[in-house]
Amino acid sequence: MSDSLLAALTAAVGPAHVLSDPELRAGYERDWTGRWRGDALAVVRPADTAQVSAVLTACAAHDAVIVPQGGNTGLVGGGVPRPGGRQVVLSSARLNRVGEVARASAQLSAGAGVTLATAQRAARDAGLELGLDLAARDSATLGGLAACDAGGLRALRHGTARRQVAGLEAVLADGSVIRRMSGLLKDNAGYDLTGLLVGSEGTLGVITAVRWSLIARRDARAVALVALDSIAEAVTLMRTLRPALPSLEVCELMGRTGIRLTLAHLGEASPLPDCAAAVLLECAATSDPLDELATALDAAGAGERAVVAADASGRERLLRLREAHTDAVAAAGVPHKLDVGIPLERLAEFADRLDGVVADAAPGSRLVVWGHLGDGNLHVNVLGPAPGEDAVDARVLELAVACGGTVSAEHGIGVHKVAALRLSRSAAELHAMRAVKRALDPTGILNPGVGLDPRDGVTDVIPATGGCDIS
Amino acid sequence: MSDSLLAALTAAVGPAHVLSDPELRAGYERDWTGRWRGDALAVVRPADTAQVSAVLTACAAHDAVIVPQGGNTGLVGGGVPRPGGRQVVLSSARLNRVGEVARASAQLSAGAGVTLATAQRAARDAGLELGLDLAARDSATLGGLAACDAGGLRALRHGTARRQVAGLEAVLADGSVIRRMSGLLKDNAGYDLTGLLVGSEGTLGVITAVRWSLIARRDARAVALVALDSIAEAVTLMRTLRPALPSLEVCELMGRTGIRLTLAHLGEASPLPDCAAAVLLECAATSDPLDELATALDAAGAGERAVVAADASGRERLLRLREAHTDAVAAAGVPHKLDVGIPLERLAEFADRLDGVVADAAPGSRLVVWGHLGDGNLHVNVLGPAPGEDAVDARVLELAVACGGTVSAEHGIGVHKVAALRLSRSAAELHAMRAVKRALDPTGILNPGVGLDPRDGVTDVIPATGGCDIS
């Protein structure tokens, strides 16, 4: 690294928080799956918003670019440096102050580096809770969750991060700070810059703080696991149950391969008979939802195929089967992870066609599918192909789009799906996105290589599907 | 109007739908309050998205600009032409096709010109309903509600339009069409252009269709009207009731002047004893919420000061008192309407200081205040000053910001609050908004004069307040 950049970064954040030694940098330079990695000139850990701004200014002055990183739990390579390039990783780890819980508005203010688990505890201590949860809760940060518009297990009921972020503070490419942290439920003074930054994967600004909407605490929970003969049956069950169960907030799908792999990984016996697919349901309410859940399952004709748990240990055991899928797959190799969203009407068709597509593109590979059934969000994991062999990725994403879906439901585009973005977005949309990117980051200092294709003129794209002209 | 522009517009939408006669144009050239008016070269009424695109192309070729107009129910002059300029009003009246209700995703697809009331009927016919309601429901259109991020009566529970718009289609300044109508609950493929257009008041694109999220139909309702001694008491009551009443979805505030004015306008006797303020509450559920409401009122010590209604006619009578405020004020003159959002913690302070500020800026005027208490959203109406006398407007907005609030909660900026926007937004935010505007509408063809100050370089602005640096 040039001495002058090092000096500028050191001036910005202090010598203890500029990591230039390769050993110290290593954990920031690769993602946890091992699929994405690169080299950074340095990792910097600013302590506050002014330091973040100073880091951006220093990088701009020394021709380096910024890779913002939260908990490094992303799955599309957007939070680690790319191979080559003058990159500085900006870690939010020290932006970790938990602010007040505003009870009147039911909102939590927190630094971008506060982990989801920490925020969940703060909310619960105040008699409230977050509407967002996912397995990476101990590492994933609120800033990262906002930047990637995370979804997770409870989006069915509470929406994704976009719906929950009541405001944020961010440093823009020019080092200026935008701030909307008053938490007003209604604020129509100007464009929704907050919403634009949510889901922009660090390419439009570095989020430094968030104000997160909380929900009423519901401590009464019931969980059911239902054995089914097909994914089509699972979709039908979900569509039957949902209107009958206002307390439903988790509706997850698991396929046979994933269930077997995960049970073996956990060393546990199956709570269900062997089945092609299983659906995990969780209801949450202020009073015990077990009867409501059991009645709805009976009415749907699924009561006899369900295991139900209301006590904490029973619930945890059932939930663990779903949550441990990620670890079980990671333990089996470096997976290709494709995160797609499919309209419910065509989800079973997608699943049916997926086997053939994967077998054709990656012969001998192992296909593991699970996901957030209620959202039409499937996580397609393929074990076998080397990390750089992308053929199966492209084919799976093409199939998703052919079924009216999106190439990214909740993981984002990162570096992984840059070429695939044009499958889901029309030339007009890509052109508009590129114009927005150029407007807010004219020199391309923020997370270059993530999200949009580096080619400036977007031409020769495949028309987007899934639209409907209703007017 | 130049013959060549007329010819181009006629080619775009057909001769029957280019209104250039002043009498035919008149209803489109002024808002219903009578405060905002201007002159258009023509009013065009395209029938579909392609025609909208053709209208934009024609205007761009002939140096004219577009003023998009929905139901013309806006209150900040953003939907009618400005005085002077080569303006074409683009009415969405014929983009009025109601599409399917997708039951699996609980979403309605509709043209931008479909009125809220029509959409509400379509949703109810499908066993669902909209989470949005406001008094202008028979005129306000879904496209306009989305473009202005409308709030209304039920935002307390269901959020504003932003939270309910699951997708949209729009024509951008260059005539290209962006479309995100698949209704996927999760779709993180690229920037959220949908969210950016929501609340942009027709300055970034012309919305041509929307996909609106619906909610489960709840037909059991109960209404209460509570007499209180002050606005501070009203805030306390709301904060007490809200956690105790999950079914609460309307919480409205009315002041003494407005109550008296409205009762006189309706020719009705008051359902309450004379009081400084009244709070209107409505609960909605699948089973009768009357007991829950009455119990919560008793627990809050407000039972004896409340009138409660569960039958339809009783509910309507209580709701009418609030809803008729707008008409009652309009019948009394051309009001100055200021729509502000204040954090609940400081709402009573704002109301206390408001009397003095208005009396000082507009001596002899009549101040009528009501609003969406649950959202901290107050509608400040001042009767007396001529439409062009803006002193009181500026003073009220300054007070809102001094109390940590916003200059626009739900009405938007329009032409009315262009100068006031800088009270709520920092130089960095205004700079970013302007960059976004230039990126998507480089020639300024879309609703010029609305939202942002026409000066290109934004300097010398008052720092935004209400932020908090949590990092």
Rounded CA gap, B158 and B177, in Å?
Answer: 29
Instruction: Inspect the interface and report whether the beta carbons of A181 and B467 lie closer than 8 Å.
Output: yes
What pLDDT does residue A1 have?
59
In A, residues 134-193, which contact B (CB 8 Å cutoff)? Answer: 148-149, 151, 155-156, 159-160, 162-163, 169, 172, 176-193
pLDDT at residue A372, as a whole number: 96
- Alpha-carbon gap: A268 to the closest alpha carbon of chain B (Å): 33
Give B434→chain A minimum CA distance, Å. 9
Please tell me the predicted confidence (pLDDT) of residue B460. 39
**Chains A–B, number of C-beta pairs less than 8 Å apart:** 316
pLDDT tens column, A416-456: 999 999 999 999 999 999 999 999 999 999 999 999 986 64
Q: What is the DSSP string of B24-50?
A: HHHHHHB-TTSS-B---SEEE--SSHH
- Name chain A contacts of B198, Cβ cutoff 8 Å: 192, 195
Q: What is the pLDDT of residue B221?
A: 95
Please report residues of B whose CB lies closer than 8 A to that of A149: 188, 192
In this complex, is the C-beta atom of B348 within 8 Å of any C-beta atom belonging to chain A? no
pLDDT for position B467 = 36
Contacts for B93 with CB less than 8 Å, ≥ 6 apart: B45, B113
Q: In this complex, is the C-beta atom of B99 within 8 Å of any C-beta atom belonging to chain A?
A: yes
Residues of B in contact with A187 (CB under 8 A): 341, 406, 408-409, 424
Per-residue three-class SS string for B283-334: EEECCCCHHHHHHHHHHCCCHHHEEEECCHHHHHHHHHHHHCHHHHHHHHCC
pLDDT at residue B455, rounded to an integer:
64
Q: If contacts are CB pairs under 8 Å, which of residues 207-226 in chain B contact chain A? A: 208-209, 211, 216
Low-confidence ranges of chain A (pLDDT < 70): 1, 454-471
Within 8 A of A344 by CB-CB distance, chain B residues are: 104-105
A185 CB neighbours in chain B (<8 A) are 155-156, 159-160, 341, 374-377
* B468 interfaces chain A, CB cutoff of 8 Å: yes
Task: Determine the pLDDT at residue B84.
Answer: 86
Say whether B156 and A209 touch across the interface (CB within 8 A).
Answer: no
Q: Which residue of B has its CA nearest to A378?
A: B186
All residues of chain A having their beta carbon less than 8 Å from the beta carbon of residue B178 are 426, 428-429, 432
Interface contact A192-B188, CB threshold 8 A? no
Contact list in A for residue B471 (CB cut-off 8 A) is 48-49, 52, 95, 97, 111-113, 169, 208-209
- When CB atoms are compared, the residue of A413, A436, A467 closest to B436 is A436
B236 close to A (CB below 8 A): no
pLDDT for res A455: 64
Distance from CA of A107 to the nearest CA of B (A): 12
Beta-carbon separation of B109 and A470 below 8 A: yes
Amino acid A34: pLDDT: 86
Exposed, middle or buried: residue A87 (CB in 10 Å: 0-12, 13-18, 19+)? Answer: buried
Flag residues of chain B having pLDDT under 70: 1, 454-471
Interface test with B, best of A188, A252, A403 (most B CBs within 10 A): A188
What does the H/E/C string look like for chain A?
Answer: CCHHHHHHHHHHHCHHHEECCHHHHHHHHECCCCCCECCCCEEECCCCHHHHHHHHHHHHHCCCEEEEECCCCCCCCCCCCCCCCCEEEEECCCCCCEEEEECCCCEEEEECCCEHHHHHHHHHHCCEEECCCCCCCCCCEHHHHHHCCCCCCCHHHHCCHHHHEEEEEEECCCCCEEEECCCCCCCCCCCCHHHHHCCCCCCCCEEEEEEEEEEECCCEEEEEEEEECCHHHHHHHHHHHHHHCCCEEEEEEEEHHHHHHHHHHHCCCCCCCCCCEEEEEEEEECCCCHHHHHHHHHHCCCHHHEEEECCHHHHHHHHHHHHCHHHHHHHHCCCEEEEEECCHHHHHHHHHHHHHHHHHHCCCCEEEEEEEHHHCEEEEEEECCCCCCCHHHHHHHHHHHHCCCECCCCCCCCCCCCCCHHHHCCHHHHHHHHHHHHHHCCCCCECCCCCCCCCCCCCCCCCCCCCCCCC
Q: Which residues, numbered 282 to 341 in chain A, qualify as contacts with chain B under a Cβ-Cβ cut-off of 8 Å? A: 286, 341
Residue B216 three-state SS: strand
- Check CB contact of A196 with chain B, cutoff 8 Å: yes
Does the CB of B405 have a partner CB in chain A at under 8 Å? yes
